[in-house]
Amino acid sequence: MCGEEENNIKRPLFWIAVCFALGEAYAVAAGHSVIVSGLMIMAALVLSVCTDRAGTAMSFFRDPIYRRLLTGNIFLLVTLLGFMNIRSVDRQGQLADEIMEIDRCRVVCSVYDVRNANKGYQVYVKTESMDNQRIGTKLILYMDNVDDIKMGQQIAVYGRMERPDIASNPGEFDARSYYAYKGIYMICRDAVITERGSGYSTIRQFLYSFRLKAGETLDRYLAVRDASVMRAMLLGEKSGIDRDTKRLFQLNGIAHILAISGVHIAIIGMTLFKLLRRISGSNVMPGIVSVCVIVLYGMMTGLASSTCRAVIMMTVVVAAKIKGRSPDMMTSAGIACVIQAVADPYIVMDAGFQLSFAAVLGIAVVDPMLEKIVGHGGRLSALRINVSVTLTTTPLVVYYFYQFPLYSVVLNMVVVPFVSVLIFCSMAAIFFGMMPGVWGFASVTAQFLAMPVRYILAAYRALCELMCKLPEYSVNVGHVSVEMVAVYYVTLVVVLWLLCRIRQKNIERPTVRRAAVLAVFFAVTCVTYEYMAYDRNFRVVYMDVGQGDGILIRSGKGVNILIDGGSSDNSQVGEYVIVPVLRYYGAAHIDYAFVTHADSDHISGLKYILQTENTGIIIENIVLPLYGMQDDFEELKEAAVNAGVNILYMKKGDAMEVSAGGVDKLLGRDMAKISLSFLYPGPETGINDINELSAVIRLDYQSHRMLFTGDLGEAGERYLLDEHADVRADVLKVGHHGSRYSSCVDFLNAVSPEFAVISAGADNRYGHPHAETLDRLEAHGAGVKSTIECGAVSVKIDRGGLKLEQYR
């Protein structure tokens, strides 16, 4: 809340917040790394010099050396405080691991929020004690009924304590990290309330009841799909949002409108503030009222990271207006950053937190620089702001979601202006819809106000579907490293700064030429680094799909191949495992999807991709065994035909080749081919069991081989041996999830694998992998990797040798 006359303090406040957040990020990611420690010290010293040259640091010291040393020490101290802030909560994670050893636990806690879950409810509580030990932490209780629970009420529950699930595949949602960023380290299953207090929080209970009634009102006046979207946009209820709409918005880069952020807070808070100020003629009372309203609104919606940031920044803006000063966006952003990081230390690692502040920096820092470069004009300002936000958020979007919506800048220019109309009409519809029934006009008014909401959301979907028909509407980049993100931001800042220097009219020509040359050189160097650092290696990934199979083969030239994709114990394996893994590896375009046989634990995920719109995954060809049990493939074939996917057939003796890597050619290395040979089944096997007719495929790359056997058992293995099939391989995908009746001794002798990978689900009812199978593999000397213990297992060829990596 600083005016221009107080420029001497506003920028250091922002950089102090940056240093605090860096200290927390350092504590999470780097531990006690000497190299990172040195980089943190250098960053603090550079900041001290920059702030001093700007005339903003410790102006009461005449000697610049003293000023810079003191400023640098302050930045280092703040960084250290951020580091210590993270370390102070590490004990909670250790405590959670200790409590896991207790079967059932008695917890005394107070309720602060209730949310719908897929089955039942999530009750968010703050604990006071666990098994009579005083422990203050956050916890989620999973319950079937919450009718008698009130917000702020103290309850005692018995339940089974668990840690949130950890991701077992690259790109998969990591619940443990997600909840840790919110200060939650444990969840309680099968929670039963044994005692309850009589007191509760009147304000919290009112907000909770209001949220429920507001949601019911939206359900009454909007279609189910539209109501779910507005529940997310207005009330923070994202669990019930229509999945098709969510996927469509994500692919086109407008999913941010579903989060409660600055737009919502500005509409509610600033509209109320300006209205009350016009009525009262004062700033004080309208400011206090509007701040109270937005704080209560934030509490009602759950205070997500973006919401909390917007509430704090709005409060600073209102406080500045009350004091008669000009608000500064960077200062208010810095204050919000520190407050949130102190309250929830791990929040600096949250994607929503980072994207929210990146958007603010785009508006506060990049947009003014672009204005100096391209000039300012009323018609271009909206486009310039959209470009600025896109420039600052793109690396984070790619880092967390592995894709970039190519036309998002244009689409956001159309979508964002109507968000305020959506919010205003929905809030007005809620207001009139919640009036008593005796007000006859209220229902009609609510229906009238709901009409624009329906039309705007329908227009959003139509626009997104139109964009999806354009070429490369969503570019699947795949995973990038933190170093690549850092290089991008450094490049952005340096190039924009140099371009600003070029545009200054009072700069001499030699300086302009040097700045132009430096800008081009720096941009080209950094782009070259990004290109070279990108992962294009040949890789085979055995996904952890639970009790099932799913294997991705990624060549270095962009050819992607799937072998199976399904699970019998994870009904949503396609949405939550296979699709994220494909996006992570930049494999959104599948050239060939081989299916070994038609059991659901091998095809359920493939069926999801074929039958679901807007997954972002395209399959060109489905490859089926010609002599498999074709009747069982009918449903899959029908889904493929409806999706416009080619169906190919292979039989024993067929083979195909794909190129392994364009980058290898660029660097002058050997351009090897990936060869896929179809070894089984043939026309006359004499076998009628669906598992024993699983397709057997051998992959040859350079001097290495990998064998994929589906659910093949001993009968199929004996047939292969009798036919003298060449089954030698370095890596064996163990048949039938490590069943007792697969991988017989003779077959293992013929394959002679160096490594064996078993895909099975934890605690499966079949007892896979069987101890006898493991003993046979161990006796043979094969290194065994099971997805149960290792998560996803990836195989890559590094310098001519095989290298196996496990995800966890």
Establish whether the linkage from the previous residue to 769 is cis, with ω within 30° of 0.
Answer: yes
Distance CA 783, CA 717 (A): 21
Indicate whether 376 belongs to any domain.
Answer: no
C-alpha span between 400 and 413 (Å, rounded): 23
**Rounded CA gap, 591 and 648, in Å?**
12
Q: Identify whether the C-beta of residue 384 lies closer than 8 Å to the C-beta of residue 371.
A: yes
Query: Cβ contacts of residue 204 below 8 Å, gap of 6+?
Result: 112, 151, 152, 299
Considering just the CA atoms, what is the radius of gyration of the chain in Å?
30
Name beta bridge partners: 114: 123
CA separation for the pair 553, 535 (Å, rounded): 14
Q: Token pair for residue 493?
A: 């800042």
Higher-confidence residue: 198 or 564? 564
pTM above 0.85, yes or no: yes
Residue type, 18: V
Local confidence band at 482 (pLDDT 50, 70, 90 cut-offs): confident
Backbone angles phi, psi at 109, to 5 degrees: -155, 170
The upper half-sphere exposure of residue 513, i.e. CA atoms within 13 Å in the direction of its Cβ, equals 3
Tokens of 37: 């420690």
321 confidence band (pLDDT: 50, 70, 90): confident
Q: Check residue 150 and give its pLDDT.
A: 92
Q: How far is CA 273 from CA 182, 276, 661, 773, in A?
A: 31, 5, 60, 72
> Can you name the residues that pair with 707 across neighbouring β-strands?
698, 732
List 127's β-bridge partners, or say none: 109
Q: Check whether residue 77 and residue 143 sit in a common domain.
A: no
- Spatial distance between the Cα atoms of 377 and 252, rounded to a whole number of angstroms: 27
How far is 483 from 27, CA to CA, in rounded Å?
17
Which residues are 646's β-sheet partners?
621
**Residue 260 resides in a domain:** yes
Going edge to edge, which strands form the sheet with 618-625?
A: 646-650, 618-625, 589-594, 560-565, 550-554, 539-542, 793-798, 801-806
**pLDDT tens-digit series, residues 649-685:** 999 999 998 876 543 333 334 456 889 999 999 887 7
N-to-C CA span, the chain: 46
**Residues in the chain, overall count:** 808
For position 371, what pLDDT does the model report? Answer: 86
Task: Please report the pLDDT score of residue 328 as a whole number.
Answer: 77
538-577: burial string, b at 16+ Cβ within 10 Å, e else? bbbbbbbbbbbbbbbbbbbbebbbbbbbbbbbbeebbbbb
Q: What is the mean pLDDT of residues 245-266?
A: 86
C-alpha–C-alpha distance, residues 428 and 396, integer Å: 35
Q: Are residues 417 and 487 in the same domain?
A: no
Better pLDDT: 151 or 104: 151
Please check whether residue 731 lies inside any domain of the structure: yes
pLDDT, one tens digit per residue, over 394-424 is: 999 999 999 989 888 889 889 988 998 999 9
Crossing angle of helices 329-343 and 305-322, rounded to 10° = 130
Using pLDDT thresholds of 50, 70 and 90, give the confidence band for residue 53: very low
Could you give the 3-state DSSP secondary structure of residue 344? Answer: coil
Residue 568 and residue 689 in one domain = yes
- Are the CB atoms for 743 and 773 separated by under 8 Å? yes
Q: What is the CATH number of the domain that holds 151?
A: 2.40.50
Rounded CA separation 263/256 (Å)? 11
DSSP state letters, 553-566: EE-TTS-EEEEEE-
Examine the domain organization and report whether 529 and 572 are in the same domain: no
**CA 322 to CA 269: how far, in whole Å?**
14
Q: Return the pLDDT at 754.
A: 93
pLDDT of residue 323: 81
* Residue where the block lists tokens 């003993």: 775
Give one DSSP letter per residue of 108-140, joined into a string: EEEEEEEEE-SSSEEEEEEEEEETTEE---EEE
- Average of per-residue pLDDT across 84-112: 75
| Residue type at 275 in one-letter notation | L
Q: What is the tens place of the pLDDT at every residue in 15-39?
A: 667 677 766 666 666 544 444 455 5
Q: Are residues 586 and 722 in the same domain?
A: yes
Please state, in angstroms and rounded to a whole number, the distance separating the CA atoms of residues 52 and 126. Answer: 45
Residue 781 lies in a domain: yes
The residue type found at 293 is: V
Residue 460 sits in the same domain as residue 576: no
pLDDT digits (tens, 9 = 90+) for 366-394: 888 888 888 776 667 778 888 899 999 99
Of 217, 202, 195, nearest to 429 (Cα)?
217
608 in a structural domain: yes
Taking Cα atoms as reference points, which of 87, 75, 97 lies closest to residue 27? 87
Q: Are residues 645 and 759 in the same domain?
A: yes
Cα separation, 469 vs 385, in Å, equals: 26
Closest CA to 726 of 677, 780, 784, 776: 677
Could you give the 3-state DSSP secondary structure of residue 541? strand
Select the more confidently predicted residue: 530 or 53.
530
What distance in Å separates the CA atoms of residue 719 and residue 709, rounded to the nearest whole number? 13
Determine the pLDDT at residue 52.
46
Q: Domain check: are 179 and 223 in the same one?
A: no
Q: Which residues on neighbouring strands pair with residue 756, listed in sequence order?
A: 732, 784
Asked if pLDDT for residue 10 goes beyond 70, the answer is: no
- How would residue 279 be classed by pLDDT, with cut points 50, 70 and 90? confident
Q: How confident is the model at residue 699 (pLDDT cuts 50, 70, 90)?
A: very high
Greater confidence, 603 or 89? 603
Q: Is the pLDDT of residue 56 over 50?
A: no
Which of the two residues, 301 and 670, has the higher pLDDT score? 301
Boundary of a domain, candidates 88, 110, 127: 88
Higher-pLDDT residue of 35 and 591 is: 591
Separation CA 48–CA 45 (nearest Å): 5
Output the CA angle 338-238-222, nearest 5 degrees: 130
Cα(334)–Cα(365) distance, integer angstroms: 13
Residue 42 has pLDDT above 80, yes or no: no
Helix (H) or strand (E) holding 649: strand 646-650
What is the arithmetic mean of pLDDT over 74-95? 66
Q: Which of 200, 231, 252 is the last residue of a domain?
A: 200
Burial class (CB in 10 A: 0-12, 13-18, 19+), 34: exposed
Residue 11: pLDDT above 60? no
Tell me if 362 is assigned to some domain.
no
Q: What is the mean pLDDT of residues 538-543?
A: 94
Integer Cα distance of 487 and 531 in angstroms = 12
Residue labelled with tokens 């995973």: 479
- Per-residue model confidence (pLDDT) at position 1: 39
Instruction: Find the mean pLDDT for residues 43-51.
Output: 52
| Res. 61: pLDDT tops 60 | no
Compare 557 and 478 and report the one with higher pLDDT.
Answer: 478
Bridge partners (DSSP) listed for residue 158: 106, 192
- Residue 1 CB burial class (10 angstroms; 0-12, 13-18, ≥19): buried
Alpha carbon distance 700, 662 (integer Å): 18
Q: Going by C-beta distance under 8 Å and a sequence separation of 6 or more, which residues neighbour residue 471?
A: none
Top pLDDT among 70 and 264 is at 264
Query: Which residue range forms the structural domain that includes residue 46?
Result: 4-88
**Rounded to whole angstroms, how far apart are CA atoms 602 and 19?**
49
Residue 70 domain-assigned (yes or no): yes
Q: Cβ distance 740 to 804 under 8 Å?
A: no
At 413, the amino acid letter reads M
Residue of 224 and 438 predicted with greater confidence: 224
What per-residue confidence (pLDDT) applies to 57?
44
CATH of the domain at 571: 3.60.15.10
Mean pLDDT of 193-202: 90
* Confidence check: pLDDT of 305 > 80: yes
Q: Are residues 471 and 486 in the same domain?
A: no
Do 610 and 581 sit in the same domain of this protein?
A: yes
Give me the number of domains the chain comprises: 5
- What confidence score (pLDDT) does residue 147 get? 83
Asked whether residue 236 falls in the same domain as residue 305, the answer is: yes
Gap between the Cα atoms of 282 and 303, Å rounded: 29
The answer to whether residue 361 sits within a structural domain is: no
Statement to judge: residues 736 and 608 lie in one domain:
yes
Rounded Cα gap, residues 580 and 572, in angstroms: 12
C-alpha span between 382 and 54 (Å, rounded) = 29
Residue-wise pLDDT tens digits, 735-752: 999 999 999 999 999 999
Cα 257–chain centre separation: 16
Partners of 475 in the beta sheet?
Answer: 404
* Number of Cα atoms under 13 Å in the Cβ half of residue 236: 22
Residue where a domain terminates, one of 476, 503, 523: 476
pLDDT of res. 148: 85
Taking CA 119 as the corner, what is the angle to CA 115 and CA 124, rounded to the nearest 5 degrees? Answer: 30
